[in-house]
Structure formats: C-alpha cells, structure tokens
C-alpha cells in the first residue's frame, strides 16, 4: 500500500517523502480513506506514536480549500505542547500548499497576536479548549464553515476536565461536519461523546482496545519501599545510553527524586505544575534535544511532550488508573522502535500490576535489581564500544597529539587504559564499593506448603504488610473506605477539618472498600486517633485506632453507625 493508493495528493506526498515517510503505517492505511471518502465519522483507538497525526492531518489538509480564508477544520488537543506539535506537523505536511494557513491557539501566550492571526485568515485551527472558547466568546473565531473536527487524545481531555468545554465548542460547529476522535483508551466517557456527537461512528482499532504499544517490553522490580530510590539509580546505571521519563505520582515526589538524582551526579531535571511556563518550555526543549537524558515528571506536566526515541519509561510506582499506565508506556517503542516500560513496585502494588496486565493483555517480566558488579561491567563495555566507534579528526588532533604523547610516554598501554577507565568510572566505583544490599522480595510461597495453605499465607502476609508502617511512622485505621465514597482527598479533608494544631503529614494511604489505613508521623498518632474518633464523614460516625498488626481488618465487620442513609455531599462535622 502506498500513499498514492490511499488517495493522498501529489503536493502532500512530496512533502511527506522529504520528511522520510516511505510507506503508510497501519493507522494511516485505515483512517485516511475514511476521512477522504467514507460516509461515517471515525473513532480511532491508537497509541501515541502510532502515526496518527499524519493519519488525520493529511486528509484534513486535503479537504480544505486554501482559497477560502475562514476556519474549515478544527483540531482540539488537551495541552499547549501537543497543540504546537500538531500545528508544526501540519505546517510541514502542507509545505507545497503555500496559501494554506495553520494556526495554533492555546493559553499561556498572547491572545492579541492570536486574534490578529485569525483575522488575517486561517483555514485550520489547532486549539486547546479553554483558549478557543475565549476566542469564540469574543466573537473572533467563527466555526460556521468548519466541515472537519478532530479530537486528539480524547481520553486525556476528559481526564483534564474538558468535557463541558468540548460540549460547548461542538454546539458552534455545523451538525453535518465530519468528525474524528482519537483516543489511546476507550473509557465510558469517550464512548458517550461518540454516541452523542458523532454520526454512525466507525471504530478503527490499531492493536487491541486499551492495550499497550506493541513494541514495548513491560518489566517490574519488586523491592521494599525504602529501597525504591536505590533501585531506580541501579536501573539507570545499568542502561548507559538511557533516554527516559521517570513518572512520579505527585509534584513533591517529582521534585524530590529529581533533586536526589542531580545531587548524585545524574543529568536530570523535574517537570511539574509548580514550574512556570518558561521553565517548562526550557526543560522540555533540553529533553527533546537530548541535552537532558533523564526527565522526572508528573503525568499532567508530561502531556503533550512528544519524543520518538525514548528507550525507557520508568514508573516510580504504579498509577491508580490503568489508562494512565497505557499512556505512559506508549511514549516508548514508537515508530517501529522497541522500548521498555519499567515499574518499580513494592508488594502492596502487586494486585494493581495484575490488573494492568489484564487490561493491556500483556505480562510483566519480573527482574532482579542489577548488582553493582553487573552495572560496572556493563558501563565499562559501553565505554569500550564508544572508544571503538569514536570518529577521529586526524587533521585537528595531530596538532596536539605529539605534545600529549610526550607527556604520557612514561605510561604503558595497560596503565593508560586503566587511567582512561578510572577517569570515566571513579564515581561509580566509589559509590558501589560500599553499596548497600537491596533486599529482594520473594513472591513465591514455600514449596512444602499445601496449595490452600499457601494461598492463605500469602493473603495473610499481604494484609499484615498493609497494616505495618515504615520506621518512624504510625499506621492508622479508620472505618470508612471506598464503598462510603471515602477517598484520599476525603481523608485529607477530614484530617484538616478535625485535627487541631500543626498540619498532619500523611504518607502511604491504602483505601479498602470498608476501611482505610494510612501512615503519619508516630508523634502525631495519639492526637489524630483522638480527633477522628466520634467525628463524622457525611452521615457516618468514624472510629479510628492505631492499626493492630495482629488484627485482620479485611475479615472483621466494619464498625458502622446506625444512621440515616448517606447524602451525596456534606462537609464533615467538626469534632465537638
């Protein structure tokens, strides 16, 4: 199959050939004919990096009339970065259609300059929802002539809370427009948009629903929680040419991990919402240009950061939402290349790992954290490989070679080589000389136990682990859980409202259907338990205690108050 056979016109083919496009990718083979000549709207399920920008971009450009200076195609994207990237790609595709104008419209930039550009005339608008609504309300952007609408990364837009904005924007677009929606996963909310706004949508799936990218290998390391950072450093050291994003759950974790890596001599930086837009742009440019090989990021901050050559995605703990893992892992193994998605987990995340396996249809490989000996050997051989392949500019080097050669003439070949290696590796050698032992967690039950006993033992040990706090912390039990609508935010709100005095720092939180266990500093345990006992969450009276490691909370009856049915929303009552 060729682009010509798909119906792509000659000016577009000439432009994409110069960009290195030789043959259509699977998503392009399926989507381009539908957008150019099909009678249906299209829902495309494909991973980031599968070639979907060209899949919708080429037919969108081809459907536009360059002589008509009004918006004819609208592409919505969740982030400023993705918006700019799509616009840049479309500009490259339309290189030989000089009268075609593509305008990126996004927040964080001068709205006045965007207004001037719209008034000059534009055929394709690539926009983030918020800024586009602003321009619509100012009567600057009129969408009455739009015949093609594309929602890119629809699941991400829903995760970011853009559903109302999308609904509003689509009311300004003619009902007979052609519509395409791309999503990496297919949550119910995306399906609802399709049924509400699309006409007889045809679903095109590249791969399987919700599965990870085909060329991605999924592996995990299971270590004690206290050893996660040490394991992270060993994984990085064991991959000398790593080019990776390390995903953390919170802004605080992201900055702390990045700071630790920088202090330990790694070329890394953080990317999160507390940075200014200018700082974010600078970090992302350094990462795209590979000046920066390691980026530590939150999921929100990394949205729209699009690079093709990532070797690794590292999950510093698993996300709660499986679709988030799918997005993370889909950032590597792109454009026909292979990649590795790594999860560093502790035993309490094993169930979450199995759920992700079920959804993506792939198994994770269990790996042991690399030993210091293996890391140093791998790094040395990598240096040897670089020395073999380095390009030597004889003309320039010869100017200095004689003087340097005289200075080092007293060294034997073996001494010289040892010094080169030591110059490169003293940091690693010094660090790993006294490296602490990382305790690996054995998942397998003892062979001499019967099958039923092994299962019971595993369940008991897992529950006991959930009841055990890290050193210096106390594990607190409270009799409200997910079945009560009680989540992490509810816990924090309840603590802030009921615990007087200094704010309580909350660590690990385990949310169960009927109860919650969470870590706090041991010094705060008494006042937190006293404050929670007898307080209210909605219409439920709370009971709290320092978690008893001998008690199996999962098997005990939850302490429920005899109160009226819970109402959907009410602030927790202050303890009296």
DSSP, collapsed to helix, strand or coil, labels residue 87 as: helix
Structure tokens at 337: 């290349």
Q: Listing from the earlier edge strand, what are the strands of the sheet with 102-105?
A: 102-105, 124-127, 73-76, 148-151, 178-183, 42-45, 202-205
Is pLDDT at 570 greater than 50 in this prediction?
A: no
Q: Is pLDDT at 298 greater than 80 in this prediction?
A: yes
Alpha-carbon gap, residue 278 to 284, rounded angstroms: 10
Query: What DSSP element (H or E) covers 557?
Result: none
How sure is the predictor about 45, in pLDDT bands with cuts at 50, 70 and 90? confident
Annotate 161-182 with DSSP letters as a single string: T-HHHHHHHHTTS-TT-EEEEE
Mean pLDDT comparison of 19-23, 206-210, 447-451, 465-469, highest-scoring range: 19-23
Does 560 or 392 have the greater pLDDT score?
Answer: 392
52 pLDDT higher than 90? no
pLDDT (average), residues 39-59: 80
pLDDT of residue 442: 53
Q: CB neighbours of 45 closer than 8 A, spacing ≥ 6? A: 182, 183, 184, 185, 186, 203, 204, 205, 206, 207, 209, 210
pLDDT at 65: 93
Res. 62: pLDDT tops 50? yes
Residue identified by tokens 């037919």 is: 59
Average pLDDT over residues 193-214: 68
* Structure confidence at residue 394 as a pLDDT band (50, 70, 90): confident
Q: Is the pLDDT of residue 452 over 50?
A: no
* pLDDT tens string 528-544: 999 999 888 877 889 99
Q: What is the pLDDT of residue 358?
A: 84
DSSP letter string over 336-395? Answer: T--EEEEEEE-GGGHHHHHHHHHHHT-PPEE-PPPPHHHHHHHHHHHHHHHHHH----HH
Quick: pLDDT tens for 246-285: 999 888 889 999 999 998 889 999 998 888 878 888 898 8
The region of weakest confidence among 81-90, 168-177, 479-488, 564-573 is 564-573
Q: What are phi and psi of 13, to 5 degrees?
A: -60, -40
Q: What is the mean pLDDT of residues 153-165?
A: 80
Question: By three-state DSSP, how is residue 124 classified?
Answer: strand
pLDDT, mean of residues 126-146: 93
pLDDT at 466 over 70: no
Q: Which residue has the higher pLDDT, 447 or 216?
A: 216
Going from the C-alpha of 115 to that of each of 64, 85, 105, 185, 562, the distances in angstroms are 21, 20, 9, 34, 60
pTM of structure: 0.55
The string of pLDDT tens digits covering residues 475-502 is: 999 998 877 778 777 788 788 888 888 8
**Mean pLDDT estimate for the chain:** 82
Whether pLDDT at 187 is above 70: no
- Whether the predicted pLDDT of 76 surpasses 90: yes
């Amino acid at each position: 199959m060729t682009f010509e056979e798909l119906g792509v016109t000659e000016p577009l083919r000439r432009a994409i050939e110069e960009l290195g496009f030789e043959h259509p990718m699977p998503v392009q083979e399926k989507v381009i004919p539908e957008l150019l000549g099909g009678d249906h709207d299209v829902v495309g399920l494909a991973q980031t990096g599968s070639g979907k920008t060209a899949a919708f971009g080429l037919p969108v450009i081809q459907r536009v009339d360059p002589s008509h200076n009004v918006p004819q195609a609208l592409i919505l994207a969740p982030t400023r970065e993705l918006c700019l990237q799509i616009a840049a790609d479309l500009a490259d595709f339309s290189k030989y259609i000089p009268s075609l104008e593509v305008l990126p419209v996004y927040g964080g930039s001068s709205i006045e300059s965007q207004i001037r550009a719209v008034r000059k005339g534009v055929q394709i608008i690539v926009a983030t929802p918020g800024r586009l609504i602003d321009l619509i309300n100012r009567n600057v952007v009129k969408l009455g002539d739009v015949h093609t609408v594309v929602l890119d990364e629809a699941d991400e837009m829903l995760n970011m809370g853009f559903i109302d904005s999308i609904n509003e924007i689509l009311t300004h677009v003619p009902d007979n427009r052609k519509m395409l929606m791309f999503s990496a996963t297919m949550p119910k909310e995306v399906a609802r948009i399709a049924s509400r706004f699309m006409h007889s949508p045809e679903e095109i799936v590249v791969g399987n629903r919700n599965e990870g990218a085909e060329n991605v290998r999924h592996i995990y390391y299971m270590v004690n929680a206290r050893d996660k950072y040490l394991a992270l450093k060993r994984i990085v050291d064991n991959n000398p040419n790593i080019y990776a994003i390390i995903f953390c759950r919170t802004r605080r974790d992201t900055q702390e991990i990045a700071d630790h890596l920088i202090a330990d001599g790694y070329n890394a930086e953080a990317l999160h919402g507390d940075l200014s837009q200018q700082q974010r742009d600078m970090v992302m440019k350094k990462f795209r240009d590979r000046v920066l090989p390691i980026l530590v990021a939150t999921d929100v901050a990394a949205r729209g950061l699009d690079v093709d050559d990532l070797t690794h995605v590292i999950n510093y703990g698993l996300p709660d939402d499986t679709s988030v893992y799918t997005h993370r892992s889909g950032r590597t193994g792109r454009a026909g290349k292979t990649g590795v998605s790594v999860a560093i987990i502790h035993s309490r995340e094993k169930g979450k790992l199995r759920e992700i396996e079920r959804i993506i249809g792939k198994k994770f490989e269990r790996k042991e954290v690399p030993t210091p000996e293996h890391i140093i050997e791998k790094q040395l051989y990598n240096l040897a490989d670089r020395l073999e392949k380095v390009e030597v500019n004889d003309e320039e080097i010869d100017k200095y070679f004689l003087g340097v050669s005289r200075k080092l003439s007293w060294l034997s070949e073996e001494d010289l080589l040892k010094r080169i290696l030591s110059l490169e590796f003293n940091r690693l050698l010094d660090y790993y000389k006294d490296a602490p032992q990382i305790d690996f967690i054995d998942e397998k039950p003892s062979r001499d136990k019967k099958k039923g006993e092994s299962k019971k033992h595993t369940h008991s040990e897992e529950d006991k682990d959930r009841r055990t706090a890290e050193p210096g912390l106390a594990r607190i039990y409270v009799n409200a859980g997910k079945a009560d609508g009680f989540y992490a935010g509810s816990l924090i709100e309840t603590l802030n409202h009921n615990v007087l005095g200094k704010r309580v720092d909350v660590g690990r939180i385990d949310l169960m259907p009927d109860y919650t266990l969470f870590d706090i500093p041991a010094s705060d345990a008494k006042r937190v338990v006293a404050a929670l006992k007898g307080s209210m969450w909605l219409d439920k009276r709370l009971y709290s205690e320092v978690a008893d490691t001998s008690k199996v909370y999962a098997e005990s009856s939850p302490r429920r108050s005899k109160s009226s049915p819970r109402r959907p929303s009410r602030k927790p009552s202050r303890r009296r």
